[in-house]
Amino acid sequence: MKILQKLSNDVAKYMKIFFKKELGAILLLSSIIAVNLFFGLPRLDKYSAVDEPYWTYDRTSKFWSGVTKPKFSRTNINDKPGITVAIFSGLGLLKYDPMEYKTLRQKPKTQEQLETINSINFLFRLPIYLLSLIFLPLFYYFTRKIFGKLTANFSTILIGLSPILLGMSLIINPDSLIWIFAPLSLLSFLVYLKEDKLRFAAISGIFLGLSLLTKYVSNVLYVYFFLLIFIDFIFSAKQTEFFSYLKNKMIGYLILVASSLATFFILFPAVWVKPIMLLEGTFMNKTFMPFLPFFGVILLFIGLDFFFLKSKIIRTILEKISPYRKIIILSFLGFFLLLMFTVIINVYSGMRFGDFMQIIASPKGTNDLFSPAVFGGKILAEIYSLIFAVSPLALILVISYIAVLIIRHKKEDSIATKNVFYFLLFILIYYIASTASGAVAVVRYQVMLYPLFFIITGMAFARFVQIEKLKKHQIIISIIFALALIFSLASVKPFYFAYNSEILPKKYVVNLKDMGDGSYEAAAYLNSLPNPQNLVIWSDKGAVCAVFSGRCEIGLDAKNIKGKNFDYIVISTGRMSKTFKTETSAKSYIDLEQAYLTEDYSFKVEIGGRPDNFVKVVNAKQLLLEK
């Protein structure tokens, strides 16, 4: 009894010390989470997203059915693979069986059925949304370990109040989780490199395993982490004996790989039945295969050098590079800065040198992928999607900070410069890999990069407020900074994922590949009309149909349009490019071009305050060409 009492007293004493010491961090995180909940929570059941039905009414139920039957092979539900999405969103199955509502998407629905569909959306989205808030303190923890308290404060504010990240977190989709797991894996690996504690390598591996269970594309981190071991040696302030360094870091890397594979294996029941899927989902996955031969040759060379020559060849190469590390790192920062300025100049010159919006709308519109003009244009379009989907303050700070690091580089800046280089290097590698695959990393596909950009912003702000004249006003400046970010959230509410920087000209849109913004509002308007169950509409987005009371047709097949007596046509900017470039006889029955261009509409939603980013409801009588 005395032992328990002593233990209780010790715990109470520790907690008192902890809360006293970390009161500021606790208040900061609590405030960020509270603001995030204020904006995000009401949106969960008032949103209709594209692609979500694949998860709600198919993949999630299929995964948990495979677990409970048990028929583990059925848990292989998607090529993403999206296992974490199914695991967490599946908590909604405790109350609803969504399969009962699967066939209602395009059919008339009662008010009770609509309310149930909204409740299903709320309960299936809620776990994913809450997960983004639960892991926010870990972003703070790892960032603080690497960069210090001030950077952690500002970085966490930026991540927690980002419209793009908030908007993504409200949707059942692999990208809603990849932005959490992949950056946390990278951050914990940087902590490992800094502190040389193997537990952080294991933690990084666990997050990498979760990333792989979410989207296979995150296996690029295997290559990046391996590369980072050698780069970190070159840029180390204190040079150590290389063979011992490499031996130690290879142990950490193997622990990372083992923990990632273990996480992947434990949480993916289909792998229990077919173990080869462990390799197919990691090193032998199709997204990794282009890197595998090169990576394999490098591993073989390094292994032979390590075991037979004690890494003399690699050490010699790195020692030759090391004297030029400052030139290399500053040149790379200058190159990335040049890319950002190129994008900005092109935007403000009216896209004279290349239309980023056209590239995003039609990423596979050319066969000449590897020509410098096409490849470079896609890279610049990806940077456009990065820098104009963040607060203007964040962009200005990052540009200024990189410029200061280049122009006024000081010895005390070396660690900060190195870490900025690490983040920007990963961003560029990700862009090159994405572009080489024939795609363009639109906002949703590069969502994992935004936290890294925000951490660079946090570093910039931390340096800014440490200027002698501003030190006394850090708290006031921080509050103004947070209020500016809250203003951005409020200004784009409720279309958070459609956020465009306030300094982006109004005629341009960053997130052309939206996730259904405006669909719920269009359906709500139609549902407000007399006898909505009797209405028949055609929509270019299925997300409208999902929450509309009446009958809804989608698709450009003539059979979906011919002979239908439509009351309204619902069209959106996000589907305009696809509709115009699709050759279909459906255009013989509906004047779709006029639908997009007409100003004679019954209802219009301007997404994010952009007149050219809309969802419109148009009376079908003026558009029907044949009945």
Q: What average pLDDT score do residues 212-229 get?
A: 94
The neighbour count for residue 114, using CB atoms within 10 Å, is 18
Token pair belonging to 504? 């982006």
pLDDT of residue 1: 55
Q: What is the mean pLDDT of the chain?
A: 89
* Per-residue pLDDT at 15 exceeds 70: no
pLDDT of residue 621: 86
* Per-residue pLDDT at 19 exceeds 70: no
Q: Which residue has the tokens 């032992």?
A: 3
CA 43 – CA 607 distance, rounded (Å): 15
Spatial contact of 595 and 570, defined as CB atoms under 8 Å apart: no
Note the pTM of the prediction, 2 decimals: 0.93
pLDDT of residue 252: 97
CA 543 – CA 51 distance, rounded (Å): 8
CA 133 – CA 38 distance, rounded (Å): 12
Length of the chain: 627
pLDDT digits (tens, 9 = 90+) for 383-403: 999 999 999 999 999 999 999
* Per-residue pLDDT at 8 exceeds 70: no
* Per-residue pLDDT at 17 exceeds 60: no
pLDDT of residue 287: 72
pLDDT of residue 371: 78
Q: For the chain, what percent of residues have pLDDT higher than 90?
A: 67
Torsion from C-alpha of 546, 550, 556, 562, nearest 10 degrees: 160
Q: Which residue has the tokens 């946090």?
A: 458
pLDDT digits (tens, 9 = 90+) for 308-362: 999 999 999 998 998 899 899 999 999 999 999 999 999 999 999 989 988 887 7
Spatial contact of 225 and 189, defined as CB atoms under 8 Å apart: yes
pLDDT of residue 64: 96
Q: Which residue has the tokens 């003399």?
A: 312
* Per-residue pLDDT at 239 exceeds 70: no
pLDDT of residue 358: 87
pLDDT of residue 595: 86
Least confident of 287-296, 415-424, 430-439: 287-296
pLDDT of residue 150: 92
Q: List, in order, residues 6 or more apart from 67 with CB less than 8 Å away.
A: 75, 269
Supply φ then ψ for residue 615, to 5 degrees. -125, 125
Q: Which long-range contacts (CB under 8 A, 24 or more apart) does 360-365 make?
A: 360/384, 360/385, 360/440, 360/442, 360/512, 360/513, 361/512, 361/577, 362/577, 362/581, 363/438, 363/439, 363/440, 363/442, 364/438, 364/439
pLDDT digits (tens, 9 = 90+) for 461-491: 999 888 777 777 778 888 888 898 999 999 9
Confidence category of residue 56, pLDDT binned at 50, 70, 90: very high
* Per-residue pLDDT at 14 exceeds 60: no
Confidence category of residue 3, pLDDT binned at 50, 70, 90: low
* Per-residue pLDDT at 493 exceeds 60: yes
